[in-house]
Structure 1
Amino acid sequence: SDLIQEAGLGLMKAADKVDPDRGVRFSTYAVWWIKAGIQDYVMRNWSLVRTGSTSSQKSLFFNMRRVQAQIEREAMQDGGPLDRSQLHEMIATEIGVPVGDVEMMDGRLSGTDYSLNATQASDEDGREWIDIIEDEDSIDSNTVEAAHDQDNLRTWLLGAMDGLSEREKFIVKERQIIDEPRTLESLGQELGLSKERVRQIEAAAFTKMRRFLEKNAREVQNFL
């Protein structure tokens, strides 16, 4: 059986690692490796979910129910049952592990594994449980479509601005693209132009951009 195979693997590990000069009997040394191999196999195959890997979790897995039964028997003899928190604290003290590990292991040992690929008993269409789990990180179609539109508009905008002069590009950027758009007056002072002249250049630039978009991208007309 599988357990016998695990025991054999433990025996081979013991034979490989034993140091005769230490004066330890091989049978005593091999028992530890055989037991460790069997315990690891039991923990790996007891549940679909990984049960534990630390020494305290392994100790809990193999001893918790025995210690719990002993504590509950003694409590009944002394006059009454313990509540869950008291029981967990006493188990933790007895085995020498943190209370949090006891609470976690109690939940795992008390639970039952269910496959997400199992068919729902009440579903005539044969849907599996995994089919009804919502993906919290999923993106709805409207968000994807909006992002796609934004990418297209950005591409079209950059193409349209390529046909502008450097002064027109500067005015469009400062007036429409930056986070805090500048006023016509501030741009006029920087460029040595009147506020009205800056407005005219901006309007002319928009006309050029619109013509480019209408000519080169029919899809963009839906956004104009």
Structure 2
Amino acid sequence: MALSSGLAATALAPTNPWTVVPSLGNLDAYISAANRLPLLTHEEEQDCARKLRDHNDVEAAGRLVMSHLRLVISISRQYLGYGLPHGDLIQEGNIGLMKAVKRFDPDQGVRLVSYAMHWIKAEIHEYILKNWRMVKVATTKAQRKLFFNLRSMKQGFKTEAETTHRNTLSDSEIDLVAAQLKVKREEVMEMETRMSGGDVLLDPAPSDDGEQAFGPIAYLADAAHEPTAMIESHQRDLLATDGIASALAALDERSRRIVEERWLKVRDDGSGGMTLHDLAAVYGVSAERIRQIEVAAMKKMRKTLAEYA
């Protein structure tokens, strides 16, 4: 995956420190190149930010982004423990950086580095939550906060857990986490269960000897052959055939033809049946009168179908 559109770099052109050679897929070279990019002074940062805000200067935006690539790299290293590729984390962080640059207001009296940290972390957090597990472990804002805080706090319990050969939190640790994070004990236990559980393939691939491996999908019930579903399906079939026929038979000839022409027949070109105006011309009445007859016929048919069911 590219580290970012036009931002993934491997070396610097000697004539211009802001010129980056396109990516060759070498992450170490990209990091080295990004760390050699010059930092902007406060005055230069303010000048570039105002050019971007007032004149939509793309070159100024590029300088703001490039000068903060090392910040993204530094922040992304904090999330290497989730087992996701470092390059992907940097890319997501770069997206957050570009969003921050686009929204940065130089008149707020805040340096871009402080403002961008929130956007970079938010983008990386979103990527981790989407890719750390096949099934999402956190969906609400509160669950996301608990996910990252709990994982961070568990690192402090790691030494004790290794000594006692435990993989989960003890009751006292759960109480401590709940108290510090100000959440319910049950919420900590639920998130711990989600984090501890791994992904299981519903339909595993065949083994090396060619035999089909059995997975959880083999034990799932077939809803199509569930008795209640079969009865409902049979009733729908009856209503669609005998029921409709009985409902149409209860109508007078004109009402029945109007319903059939409007809803049960298809023209040669594949379009719907006759329009209200077509039927109005056939019977020599207004289209509104045809609509009234149709409404009355439908009402009568629904009553007949209810009795048939």
| TM-score, structure 1 normalization | 0.53
Instruction: Supply the distance in 1 between the matched residues of 2:154 and 2:232 (Cα, whole angstroms).
Output: 58
Q: 1:158 to 1:4 in 2, by over 3 A?
A: closer
Deviations 1:46-94 (A, max 9, x none): 100101133332233223244245368799xxxxxx9843322211111
Tell me which residue corresponds to 2:190.
Answer: 104
Whole-Å separation in 2 of the counterparts to 1:59 and 1:48: 19
* 1:23-64 superposed Cα distances (whole Å, 9 cap, x missing partner): 111111011111111122112111001011333322332232
**Matched position secondary structure for 2:203:** coil
* 1:31 counterpart = 2:120: no
Runs of 4+ in 1 over 3 A off after TM superposition: 68-75, 82-86, 119-125, 136-153, 155-160
1:5 aligns with 2:91: yes
Identity %: 33
Q: Which moved more, 1:91-100 or 1:113-122?
A: 113-122
**Are residue 43 (structure 1) and residue 143 (structure 2) matched?**
no
Q: Compared with structure 1, are the counterparts of its residues 120 and 94 closer, same or farther at alpha carbon in structure 2 (3 Å cutoff)?
A: farther
Q: CA RMSD in A?
A: 4.2
Task: State the distance in 1 between where 2:243 and 2:191 align.
Answer: 59
| Cα displacement (A) at 1:140 | 4.1
Return the offset for 1:138: 3.7
TM superposition shift of 1:18:
1.8
Q: Which runs of 5+ in 1 are unaligned?
A: 76-81, 161-224
Structure 1 residues 29, 123: CA separation in 2 closer, same or farther (over 3 Å shift)? Answer: same
Highest CA radius of gyration, 1 or 2? 1
Amino acid aligned to 2:174: H
Corresponding residue number in structure 2 for 1:19: 105
Q: How does 1:113-152 map to 2 (within 5 A)?
A: 113-119=199-205, 125-127=211-213, 129=215, 131-135=217-221, 137-140=223-226, 144=230, 148=234
TM-score scaled by length of structure 2? 0.40
The aligned length equals 156
Aligned-partner Cα distance in 2 for 1:25–1:151: 69
Report if aligned partners of 1:119, 1:129 keep a CA contact under 8 Å in 2.
Answer: no
Residues 119 and 128 in structure 1, CA contact (< 8 A), matched pair in contact too: no
What is the alpha-carbon distance in structure 2 between the residues aligned to residue 106 and residue 17 of structure 1? 36
Question: Which has a greater percent of helix?
Answer: 1
CA gap 1:27/1:157 in 2 versus in 1, 3 angstroms = closer
**Which structure 2 residue ranges, 5 or more long, are not aligned?**
1-86, 162-167, 247-309
CA contact (8 A) 2:96 2:120 kept: yes
The CA deviation at 1:99 is 2.1
Alpha-carbon distance in 1 for matches of 2:232, 2:130: 47
